[in-house]
Amino acid sequence: MGKAKDVRVAVENELRYDPRVDSSDITVMNIGGNVNLAGTVPSFPQYLQASAAAHRVGGVKTVDNNLEVALPDSSYRDDPKLTTAANNALTGNVTVPDTVEAIAEDGNVTLTGVVAYGTERTAAAEAVAGLTGVRNVFNDIQISYDIDPVDVDLHVQEALDRSALVPDDSDVKADTKDNIITLTGHVRTWAEHDAVLGAAWMAYGVIDVLDNLQITG
Protein backbone atom coordinates (compact mmCIF):
# COMPACT_ATOMS: atom_id res chain seq x y z
CA MET A 1 0.00 0.00 0.00
CA GLY A 2 2.77 2.40 0.95
CA LYS A 3 4.74 1.61 -2.21
CA ALA A 4 1.70 2.23 -4.42
CA LYS A 5 1.11 5.54 -2.66
CA ASP A 6 4.77 6.47 -3.07
CA VAL A 7 4.59 6.03 -6.87
CA ARG A 8 1.35 8.00 -7.13
CA VAL A 9 2.70 10.83 -4.99
CA ALA A 10 5.97 10.84 -6.93
CA VAL A 11 4.09 11.15 -10.23
CA GLU A 12 1.92 13.93 -8.81
CA ASN A 13 5.03 15.78 -7.67
CA GLU A 14 6.75 15.29 -11.02
CA LEU A 15 3.74 16.79 -12.78
CA ARG A 16 3.45 19.62 -10.24
CA TYR A 17 7.08 20.68 -10.63
CA ASP A 18 7.25 20.34 -14.44
CA PRO A 19 6.84 23.93 -15.74
CA ARG A 20 5.55 22.57 -19.05
CA VAL A 21 2.45 21.03 -17.46
CA ASP A 22 -0.54 22.64 -15.72
CA SER A 23 -1.39 19.78 -13.36
CA SER A 24 -4.21 21.52 -11.51
CA ASP A 25 -6.89 19.38 -13.23
CA ILE A 26 -4.93 16.10 -13.47
CA THR A 27 -5.80 13.06 -11.34
CA VAL A 28 -3.21 10.30 -10.90
CA MET A 29 -4.06 6.68 -10.11
CA ASN A 30 -1.55 3.87 -9.63
CA ILE A 31 -1.96 0.10 -9.38
CA GLY A 32 1.31 -1.78 -9.10
CA GLY A 33 3.25 0.71 -11.18
CA ASN A 34 0.55 0.99 -13.85
CA VAL A 35 -0.30 4.68 -13.80
CA ASN A 36 -3.48 6.23 -15.12
CA LEU A 37 -3.72 9.96 -15.87
CA ALA A 38 -7.21 11.46 -15.98
CA GLY A 39 -8.63 14.98 -16.14
CA THR A 40 -7.82 17.84 -18.49
CA VAL A 41 -4.92 19.95 -19.74
CA PRO A 42 -5.16 23.16 -21.81
CA SER A 43 -3.02 22.10 -24.81
CA PHE A 44 -1.91 19.05 -26.77
CA PRO A 45 1.82 19.56 -25.97
CA GLN A 46 0.86 19.42 -22.27
CA TYR A 47 -1.02 16.16 -22.95
CA LEU A 48 2.19 14.69 -24.38
CA GLN A 49 4.43 16.17 -21.70
CA ALA A 50 2.27 14.86 -18.85
CA SER A 51 2.76 11.33 -20.14
CA ALA A 52 6.51 11.88 -20.55
CA ALA A 53 6.75 13.26 -17.00
CA ALA A 54 4.98 10.24 -15.54
CA HIS A 55 7.33 7.91 -17.43
CA ARG A 56 10.33 9.59 -15.79
CA VAL A 57 9.29 8.46 -12.30
CA GLY A 58 10.94 5.41 -10.78
CA GLY A 59 8.60 2.47 -10.25
CA VAL A 60 6.32 3.37 -13.16
CA LYS A 61 5.79 0.43 -15.53
CA THR A 62 3.09 1.74 -17.84
CA VAL A 63 1.25 5.03 -18.33
CA ASP A 64 -2.34 5.09 -19.56
CA ASN A 65 -2.94 8.67 -20.68
CA ASN A 66 -6.68 9.39 -20.49
CA LEU A 67 -6.26 13.15 -20.29
CA GLU A 68 -8.44 15.35 -22.48
CA VAL A 69 -7.37 18.64 -24.02
CA ALA A 70 -9.76 21.41 -22.96
CA LEU A 71 -8.74 24.36 -25.12
CA PRO A 72 -9.30 27.86 -23.76
CA ASP A 73 -11.44 30.07 -26.00
CA SER A 74 -8.35 32.05 -27.03
CA SER A 75 -6.79 28.92 -28.56
CA TYR A 76 -9.77 27.91 -30.70
CA ARG A 77 -9.28 27.73 -34.49
CA ASP A 78 -11.96 26.71 -36.96
CA ASP A 79 -11.34 23.70 -39.22
CA PRO A 80 -10.18 25.58 -42.36
CA LYS A 81 -7.71 27.77 -40.43
CA LEU A 82 -6.24 24.84 -38.50
CA THR A 83 -6.03 22.71 -41.65
CA THR A 84 -4.12 25.50 -43.40
CA ALA A 85 -1.82 26.02 -40.42
CA ALA A 86 -1.09 22.29 -40.17
CA ASN A 87 -0.25 21.95 -43.87
CA ASN A 88 1.95 25.05 -43.72
CA ALA A 89 3.80 23.50 -40.76
CA LEU A 90 4.34 20.28 -42.72
CA THR A 91 5.59 22.21 -45.76
CA GLY A 92 7.95 24.24 -43.59
CA ASN A 93 9.56 21.16 -42.03
CA VAL A 94 12.57 20.00 -44.03
CA THR A 95 12.25 16.41 -42.75
CA VAL A 96 8.64 15.92 -43.89
CA PRO A 97 8.18 14.97 -47.58
CA ASP A 98 5.51 16.69 -49.67
CA THR A 99 3.53 13.43 -49.82
CA VAL A 100 2.09 14.15 -46.35
CA GLU A 101 -1.16 16.07 -45.87
CA ALA A 102 -3.20 17.22 -42.87
CA ILE A 103 -6.88 17.84 -42.29
CA ALA A 104 -8.46 19.23 -39.12
CA GLU A 105 -11.86 18.50 -37.64
CA ASP A 106 -12.88 20.06 -34.31
CA GLY A 107 -9.24 20.42 -33.29
CA ASN A 108 -8.32 16.87 -34.26
CA VAL A 109 -5.59 16.83 -36.90
CA THR A 110 -5.32 13.71 -39.07
CA LEU A 111 -2.12 13.11 -41.04
CA THR A 112 -2.17 10.98 -44.19
CA GLY A 113 0.24 10.07 -46.98
CA VAL A 114 3.20 7.77 -47.58
CA VAL A 115 6.80 8.27 -46.40
CA ALA A 116 9.99 6.24 -46.66
CA TYR A 117 11.18 6.40 -43.04
CA GLY A 118 9.70 6.20 -39.57
CA THR A 119 11.61 9.35 -38.65
CA GLU A 120 9.67 11.26 -41.34
CA ARG A 121 6.39 9.98 -39.90
CA THR A 122 7.41 11.13 -36.42
CA ALA A 123 8.61 14.50 -37.71
CA ALA A 124 5.21 15.14 -39.30
CA ALA A 125 3.39 14.55 -36.01
CA GLU A 126 5.83 16.77 -34.14
CA ALA A 127 5.44 19.54 -36.74
CA VAL A 128 1.72 19.95 -36.04
CA ALA A 129 1.56 18.99 -32.34
CA GLY A 130 2.36 22.46 -31.02
CA LEU A 131 -0.01 24.45 -33.22
CA THR A 132 -2.61 26.59 -31.50
CA GLY A 133 -6.02 24.89 -31.64
CA VAL A 134 -4.83 21.26 -31.75
CA ARG A 135 -6.68 18.88 -29.43
CA ASN A 136 -5.19 15.65 -30.77
CA VAL A 137 -3.08 14.28 -33.63
CA PHE A 138 -3.99 11.07 -35.46
CA ASN A 139 -1.04 9.77 -37.43
CA ASP A 140 -2.34 7.67 -40.35
CA ILE A 141 0.82 8.12 -42.43
CA GLN A 142 1.97 4.88 -44.06
CA ILE A 143 5.59 3.76 -44.40
CA SER A 144 6.51 2.13 -47.69
CA TYR A 145 9.56 -0.09 -48.00
CA ASP A 146 11.00 -2.60 -50.41
CA ILE A 147 13.86 -4.21 -48.50
CA ASP A 148 14.95 -7.75 -47.58
CA PRO A 149 13.88 -8.69 -43.98
CA VAL A 150 17.41 -10.02 -43.38
CA ASP A 151 18.75 -6.54 -44.05
CA VAL A 152 16.18 -5.10 -41.64
CA ASP A 153 17.39 -7.44 -38.88
CA LEU A 154 20.98 -6.41 -39.52
CA HIS A 155 20.19 -2.69 -39.49
CA VAL A 156 18.21 -2.98 -36.23
CA GLN A 157 20.99 -4.91 -34.48
CA GLU A 158 23.59 -2.41 -35.67
CA ALA A 159 21.43 0.49 -34.44
CA LEU A 160 21.08 -1.15 -31.01
CA ASP A 161 24.83 -1.77 -30.86
CA ARG A 162 25.52 1.91 -31.58
CA SER A 163 23.19 3.22 -28.86
CA ALA A 164 25.03 4.52 -25.79
CA LEU A 165 22.02 3.80 -23.57
CA VAL A 166 21.71 0.10 -24.49
CA PRO A 167 24.23 -1.94 -22.43
CA ASP A 168 26.49 -4.49 -24.11
CA ASP A 169 24.97 -7.34 -22.07
CA SER A 170 21.40 -6.42 -23.02
CA ASP A 171 19.07 -9.37 -23.73
CA VAL A 172 16.89 -7.27 -26.05
CA LYS A 173 15.95 -9.13 -29.23
CA ALA A 174 14.49 -7.69 -32.42
CA ASP A 175 12.57 -10.15 -34.60
CA THR A 176 11.43 -9.11 -38.08
CA LYS A 177 8.34 -10.27 -39.95
CA ASP A 178 6.94 -8.41 -42.95
CA ASN A 179 9.19 -5.47 -42.04
CA ILE A 180 7.55 -5.19 -38.61
CA ILE A 181 9.96 -5.32 -35.67
CA THR A 182 8.94 -7.07 -32.44
CA LEU A 183 11.12 -6.10 -29.49
CA THR A 184 11.46 -8.46 -26.53
CA GLY A 185 13.75 -8.60 -23.53
CA HIS A 186 14.44 -6.49 -20.47
CA VAL A 187 15.43 -2.87 -19.93
CA ARG A 188 16.20 -1.17 -16.63
CA THR A 189 14.65 2.27 -17.15
CA TRP A 190 12.28 4.15 -19.42
CA ALA A 191 15.30 6.00 -20.82
CA GLU A 192 16.80 2.68 -21.92
CA HIS A 193 13.37 1.59 -23.19
CA ASP A 194 13.04 4.72 -25.33
CA ALA A 195 16.60 4.30 -26.60
CA VAL A 196 15.81 0.78 -27.81
CA LEU A 197 12.64 1.94 -29.57
CA GLY A 198 14.46 4.88 -31.10
CA ALA A 199 17.26 2.64 -32.34
CA ALA A 200 14.74 0.28 -33.94
CA TRP A 201 12.91 3.12 -35.68
CA MET A 202 16.19 4.49 -37.07
CA ALA A 203 16.87 1.25 -38.96
CA TYR A 204 16.15 0.97 -42.65
CA GLY A 205 13.11 -1.06 -43.64
CA VAL A 206 10.99 -0.69 -40.50
CA ILE A 207 7.26 -0.28 -41.07
CA ASP A 208 6.21 -0.65 -37.43
CA VAL A 209 7.74 -1.51 -34.04
CA LEU A 210 5.84 -3.73 -31.60
CA ASP A 211 7.00 -3.05 -28.05
CA ASN A 212 7.04 -6.15 -25.83
CA LEU A 213 9.93 -4.94 -23.67
CA GLN A 214 9.80 -5.44 -19.90
CA ILE A 215 11.03 -2.75 -17.53
CA THR A 216 12.81 -4.21 -14.55
CA GLY A 217 13.23 -0.92 -12.65
Specify the pLDDT at position 1: 46
CB 157 within 8 A of CB 189: no
Enter the DSSP assignment of 142. E
Residue 203 and residue 196: Cα distance in Å, rounded? 11
Specify the pLDDT at position 5: 67
Specify the pLDDT at position 156: 74
Q: What angle separates helix 44-55 from helix 2-17, to the nearest 10 degrees?
A: 140
CB 4 within 8 A of CB 60: no
Count Cβ atoms within 10 A of the Cβ of residue 196 and give its class: 0-12 exposed, 13-18 middle, 19 or more buried. Answer: buried
Specify the pLDDT at position 147: 57
Structural domains of the chain, ranges and CATH numbers in brackets: 2-69 (3.30.1340), 75-143 (3.30.300.130), 149-215 (3.30.1340.30)
Q: 69 by DSSP, 3-state: which? A: strand
- Residues 6 or more apart whose Cβ sits within 8 Å of residue 64: 34, 35, 36, 37
Specify the pLDDT at position 208: 81
Query: Within a 13 Å sphere around the CA of 58, how many CA atoms are in the beta-carbon half?
Result: 3
Query: 10-residue block means of pLDDT along the chain (217 residues)?
Result: 75 95 96 95 97 92 95 95 98 95 97 88 95 96 70 74 79 82 87 85 76 85
Specify the pLDDT at position 149: 55
